[in-house]
């Protein structure tokens, strides 16, 4: 928040109005005796001038203090420190401004009563006024933040609905469906037991997809089990052309990821890379600190897939919506590496 032209106008008008009230009150109570209109105008002009200077001083340094505190001491995370520092700042700014203006006025026209009493009185008034000013500024800031948060939440919720629909569409991939049915047809003819297992895993994949699509996050443990079902189907299809290594710390299995996040990375590997017995597709899934890493060797198909990057961008948006963290994707001549944050249980 800055001192805009509108705020400056309000400060000046307020200073004039306040001086009118003070001068009128002092004259009516006999504290001062105004003899002419000229004396009244001079008092009003001088009082408004110094009151405006004091107000600008208070507003300027209050804005600086609040801006600093917003960056260093967030209300939610450092409430007590924020309160203590802001209270000290309010008093320091008020006293320095009140004493400075009082000394200048006294140098121009000496007070009739002891200076120490004027300094005490004006300092006290400045502190009270500054508390009111800072309270108003913080109230306005809080209102603006809440309005922005509301607009952002509505925008993100709308985007999240679109993302979920896009995710569901991607998971119900017709190519995967047709390829799986072709594999199943072959298994029914040659190995009925394996065909039964294939159907079980195949149905669990689509059941899981439909069950979790409306959820924000899922335990990594369940995502890995789902990924194993997906990899089972792919292993039947590609046989020895696919090799998978999995090394995930047990305590990380209780962390969370967006639903279908792991499968999205696996599907990306199969979609864009060749898999042959001579040159197998090697996929590694591992945990490292608070991240899940999926790496596959890079051996692109000769025919480019037009949907390249859609699933990853979708995953990036979901992470941004859920926790604000961003997955990292790195493609080199030899491998593709995805690093996605693991969301710690609360």
Note the Cα 45 to chain centre separation in Å. Answer: 48
257's enclosing H/E stretch is: strand 256-257
Residue 222's contacts (CB-CB under 8 Å, 6 or more residues apart) are 208
117 within domain boundaries = yes
Average pLDDT over residues 231-260: 91
Write down the number of H helices and E strands in the chain. Answer: 9, 7
204 within domain boundaries = yes
Domain count, the chain: 2
Convert 309-329 to b/e letters by CB count within 10 Å (16 or more is b).
eebbebbbbbbbbbeeeebeb
**40-54, 259-273, 286-300: least confidently modelled range:** 40-54
Of 118, 149, 180, the position where a domain reaches its end is 149
156 within domain boundaries = no
Same domain, 121 and 181: no
75 within domain boundaries = yes
Percentage of the chain lying above the pLDDT 90 cut: 22
Residue recorded with tokens 């596959």? 296
Same domain, 121 and 245: no
Same domain, 71 and 176: no
Give the residue numbers spanning the domain of 327: 172-341
142 within domain boundaries = yes
Which pairing describes strands 256-257 and 218-219: parallel, antiparallel, or unpaired?
antiparallel
Q: Which two tokens stand for residue 217?
A: 């996050």
183 within domain boundaries = yes
* Confidence (pTM): 0.56
Same domain, 76 and 176: no
| pLDDT score of 156 | 67
Same domain, 248 and 126: no
Same domain, 189 and 291: yes
Same domain, 326 and 180: yes
* Calpha distance 310→314 (Å, rounded): 6
């Amino acid at each position: 928040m800055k001192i805009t032209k509108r705020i400056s106008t309000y400060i000046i008008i307020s200073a004039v109005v306040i001086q009118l009230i003070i001068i009128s009150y002092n004259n009516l109570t006999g504290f001062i005796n105004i003899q002419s209109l000229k004396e009244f105008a001079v008092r009003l002009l001088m009082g408004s001038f110094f009151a405006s200077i004091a107000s600008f001083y208070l507003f300027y340094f209050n804005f600086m203090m609040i801006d600093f505190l917003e960056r260093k001491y967030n209300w939610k995370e450092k409430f007590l420190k924020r309160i203590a520092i802001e209270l000290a700042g309010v008093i320091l700014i008020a006293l320095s401004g009140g004493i400075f203006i009082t000394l200048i006025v006294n140098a121009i026209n000496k007070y009739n009563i002891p200076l120490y009493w004027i300094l005490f009185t004006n300092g006290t008034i400045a502190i009270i006024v500054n508390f009111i000013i800072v309270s108003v500024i913080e109230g306005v800031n809080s209102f603006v933040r809440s309005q922005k948060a509301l607009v952002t939440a509505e925008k993100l919720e709308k985007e999240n609905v679109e993302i979920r629909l896009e995710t569901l569409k991607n998971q119900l991939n017709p190519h995967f469906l047709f390829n799986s049915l072709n594999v199943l047809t072959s298994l029914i003819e040659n190995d009925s037991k394996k065909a039964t297992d294939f159907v079980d895993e195949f149905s669990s994949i689509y059941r899981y997809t439909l069950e979790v699509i409306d959820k924000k996050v899922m335990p990594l443990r369940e995502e890995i089990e789902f990924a194993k079902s997906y990899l089972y189907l792919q292993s039947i299809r590609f046989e020895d052309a696919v090799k998978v290594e999995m090394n995930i710390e047990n305590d990380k299995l209780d962390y969370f990821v967006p639903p279908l996040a792991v499968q999205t990375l696996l599907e990306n590997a199969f979609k864009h890379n060749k898999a042959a017995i001579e040159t197998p597709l090697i996929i590694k899934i591992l945990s490292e600190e608070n991240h899940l890493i999926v790496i596959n060797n890079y051996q692109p198909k000769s025919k480019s897939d037009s949907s390249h990057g859609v699933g990853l961008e979708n995953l990036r948006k979901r992470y941004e919506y859920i926790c604000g963290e961003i997955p990292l994707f790195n493609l080199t001549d030899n491998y593709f590496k995805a690093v996605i944050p693991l969301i710690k249980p609360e």
